[in-house]
Amino acid sequence: MSRERLCIALDVMGGDRAPDAVIKAALLALDKYPDTRFLLYGDERRIAPLLERHAGLKGCSEVHHTPDVISNDEKPSVALRKGRRSSMALGIMAVRDNKADALVSAGNTGALMAMSKILLKTLPGIDRPAITGVLPTKKDNCIMLDIGANVDCDANNLFQFAVMGDAFARVMLGLPSPRIRLLNIGTEEAKGNESVREAAEMLRTVGNGLNFCGHIEGNAIAEGAADVIVTDGFSGNIALKTLEGTASMCVSFLRDAYKSSFLAWLGYLCSRAALRKFATKLDPRLHNGAMLLGLNGIVVKSHGGMDETGIANAIGTALRLASNDINAKIVEEMERSESALYPEA
């Protein structure tokens, strides 16, 4: 981490296993990044006893009490009206007011996005924020955006996602020139809907700086054919969740196969250590932490069902993005791309 003592705001009440899993995640993250400070937003009566057991964490944390929690089934519109004093809203305000370098929340995604848009606003040149996730492939991880925030996207939105995804992949995957592709139903130029075809044209035009490699089909995601996969939030969400569901199905088939005979079980015992590596590659906890990219501040969303390991990974993501000043990179790339696209302006 380049800056000293980065500060992470935590929505301690967000997620299915809150507050325990969030506090334990902070402990795990502190172990790995001992210079971190935390602002803990949530119910003090529940947080205090958890902190009592961990003097190290207590020493670098400030607890900000609020009894208000946004539940998982709350509609974003209701959350906006009623949730002004919720742990989630206070966490976002901490980022807005530069008290924290990033927020991590495992709470309601729709509410988190709606509140973040209003409290943080979008970055210059960005019309809509996109949720950006990390996916496993046969080779290295890749990133995909949008994975659920924007159901309908025009070419401009997709173009901006590509610019933001490029910056994100440079930071998170450490790539000097990430291969950007548009998710489509064929690799030919004429394939797909109008937004995708127009965005491809824009990405080809802008050239300079962005390594646009054309379209990618669903089956090539897992092949590792792209580092950044750009798509609308409807298709992206479906692709991501289909990937997760299929991986889980494969593990389930495998488990059934091993249980089908004594010999198969014996084989499992022999291969167990190697199979653990297989399972690790597919472990969703290791890919946890989706950034709400395009906002004036860093907001990382953990999957709601995650345990402390998963949430700790989301905290790690937030620290990496903050220490690399991801948003400055996006603004810079956006300016360069705009002047390449509209040289007369």
Residues interacting with a copy of itself, by CB under 8 A? 75, 136-138, 148, 151-152, 183, 185, 190, 192-193, 217-223, 231, 233-235, 237-254, 256-258, 260-261, 263-264, 266-275, 277-278, 281-282
Q: In terms of DSSP bridges, do strands 299-301 and 290-293 run parallel, antiparallel, or are they unpaired?
A: antiparallel
Q: What does the block give as tokens for 287?
A: 């890919």
Kind and range of the H or E run holding 26: helix 20-32
Nearer to a copy of itself, 146 or 308 (CB): 146
Nearer to a copy of itself, 55 or 190 (CB): 190
φ, ψ for residue 223 (rounded to 5)? Answer: -70, -15
Q: How far is the CB of 310 from a copy of itself (least distance, A)?
A: 16
Nearer to a copy of itself, 177 or 248 (CB): 248
Residue 19, preceding peptide bond in cis (omega within 30° of 0): yes
Could you tell me which residues come within 8 angstroms of residue 157 by beta carbon, excluding any fewer than 6 positions away?
127, 128, 130, 150, 195, 232
Nearer to a copy of itself, 213 or 222 (CB): 222
Q: How far is the CB of 48 from a copy of itself (least distance, A)?
A: 36
Q: How far is the CB of 111 from a copy of itself (least distance, A)?
A: 13
Q: How far is the CB of 290 from a copy of itself (least distance, A)?
A: 14
Contact (Cβ atoms closer than 8 angstroms) between residue 21 and residue 117: no
- Taking Cα atoms as reference points, which of 131, 219, 129 lies closest to residue 181? 219
Nearer to a copy of itself, 262 or 342 (CB): 262
- Taking Cα atoms as reference points, which of 300, 299, 301, 298 lies closest to residue 326? 298
Q: How far is the CB of 201 from a copy of itself (least distance, A)?
A: 17
Q: How far is the CB of 116 from a copy of itself (least distance, A)?
A: 19
Nearer to a copy of itself, 7 or 180 (CB): 180
SS3 105: strand
Q: How far is the CB of 301 from a copy of itself (least distance, A)?
A: 15
Q: Kindly list the strands in the beta sheet with 211-216, ordered across the sheet, starting from the edge strand earlier in the chain.
A: 61-65, 37-42, 7-11, 102-105, 299-301, 290-293, 130-135, 142-145, 228-230, 179-183, 211-216
Nearer to a copy of itself, 90 or 240 (CB): 240
Q: What is the 3-state secondary structure (H, E, C) of 270-309?
A: HHHHHHHHHHHHHCHHHHCCEEEECECCCEEECCCCCCHH
The dihedral region occupied by 212, where left means phi > 0, alpha psi between -120 and 50, and beta the remainder, is beta
Q: How far is the CB of 256 from a copy of itself (least distance, A)?
A: 8
Nearer to a copy of itself, 266 or 328 (CB): 266
The dihedral region occupied by 164, where left means phi > 0, alpha psi between -120 and 50, and beta the remainder, is alpha
